[in-house]
A and B are shown apart, each in its own frame.
Chain A
Amino acid sequence: MAQYKVLSDRLTDVTAGSTVDDMQLEGLNIDALIEGGHIEAINANKQSVKKDLEEK
Chain B
Amino acid sequence: MAQIVLTNAFISVNSVVLSDRANSVTVNYEIDSVEATTFGSGGHNFVGGLQNNSCEVAFMQDFAAANVEATIYPLVGTTFVVVVKPNGATTSATNPSYTLTGTFLAAHTPVAASVGEMAMTTLSFTGGTLVKAVV
Whether A29 lies near B66 (C-beta < 8 A) is: no
Q: How far is the CB of A54 from chain B (nearest CB, A)?
A: 34
Of the 9-residue stretches B15-23, B27-35, B49-57, B119-127, which lies at the interface with chain A?
B15-23
What's the dominant secondary structure at chain A's contact region? loop
Whether B101 lies near A8 (C-beta < 8 A) is: no
Neighbouring B residues of A33 by C-beta, 8 Å: 14-16
Neighbouring B residues of A7 by C-beta, 8 Å: 66
Residue B83 interfacial (CB < 8 Å) = yes
Of the 9-residue stretches B1-9, B40-48, B74-82, which lies at the interface with chain A?
B74-82
Whether B81 lies near A32 (C-beta < 8 A) is: no
Whether B15 lies near A11 (C-beta < 8 A) is: yes
Contact of B71 among A12, A25, A27, A32 (CB under 8 A): A32
Given the known interface contacts A28-B80, A29-B80, A37-B65, the answer about A8 and B16 at a Cβ–Cβ threshold of 8 Å is yes
Neighbouring A residues of B79 by C-beta, 8 Å: 29
Q: How many A-B residue pairs have CB under 8 A?
A: 59
What's the dominant secondary structure at chain B's contact region? mixed
Whether A28 lies near B81 (C-beta < 8 A) is: yes
Contact of B15 among A12, A31, A35, A37 (CB under 8 A): A12
Contact of A29 among B14, B65, B67, B83 (CB under 8 A): B14
Neighbouring A residues of B81 by C-beta, 8 Å: 27-28
Q: Which residue of B lies closest to A24 (CB)?
A: B15
Q: Which residue of B lies closest to A35 (CB)?
A: B74
Contact of B75 among A12, A29, A37 (CB under 8 A): A29
